[in-house]
Amino acid sequence: MNKDKKLNIAIIEDVEDIRVNLKEYLESMDAVGEVLAVASMEEFFEQGNIKTPPDVVLNDIGLPGMNGIEGIKMIRSLFPDTDIIMLTVFSDSDKIFQSICAGATGYALKGTPMPDIYKAILEIKAGGSYMSPSIARKVMNHFIPEKKYKTDGLTPKEKQIVEALTEGLSYKLIADKLSMSMDTVRFHIKNIYRKLHVNSKAEVISKAYRGEI
């Protein structure tokens, strides 16, 4: 980034207090030139007098009309060199990855201190990226293989008991169905808990429903 060039920023945010406060704060920063602040994607795209593409767009997701994720691609098509930082309340993985896949270069949660947002803008224009710490953790966890416990060690009889548990059968009914004593059922269930690293019947059933057994 040219140190002498001031950054043009656009804010797309429907909450007026956030929009106004962020605009005023950024306009007070030395590295920032013009700041356009609008309440919707439609209003942003109606700004026909935008002769200079914004360097950075701070973009909400939950907007009236076109949502922020849909708007990313349009912004990218109009201004290929513009960086987009999502500034939103949404912290779920779907929204994060939809935004990144659509072309966002940063993701910050509302409530992020304004100095941190400013630093994020400078960092991104210097070639880096930015994510709120909790968002970065979610992204990292996404790429860490989920720890799966091997269940191949279950014997055929233990698998029958698991199936009976998912059917809602009591220990007595399982014993009757499989022609074994209650003590034998308890012995097998204790082994099942140990092999599956669980502590309750509910956890066994949950694993079965998730296809992990």
DSSP string, 27-80: HTSTTEEEEEEESSHHHHHT-TT--S--SEEEE-SS-SSS-HHHHHHHHHHH-T
Residues 203 and 127 in one domain: no
Domain finish residue from 92, 118, 143:
143
Residues 134 and 163 in one domain: no
Paired tokens of 125: 């224009």
Q: Where are the beta strands (DSSP E) in the chain?
A: 7-12, 32-38, 56-59, 83-88, 106-109, 130-131
Q: Across the chain, how many H-helices and E-strands are there? A: 10, 6
Residues 40 and 91 in one domain: yes
Of residues 129 and 21, the one with the higher pLDDT is 21
pLDDT digits (tens, 9 = 90+) for 27-60: 999 999 999 999 999 999 886 556 678 999 999 9
Lowest-confidence pick of 77-81, 121-125, 133-137 = 133-137
Residues 30 and 134 in one domain: yes
Q: Is the pLDDT of residue 135 over 80?
A: yes
The Cβ of residue 90 has, within 10 Å, a number of other Cβ atoms equal to: 20
Range of the domain at 117: 7-143
What's the total number of domains in the chain?
A: 2
Q: What is the DSSP letter of 97?
A: H
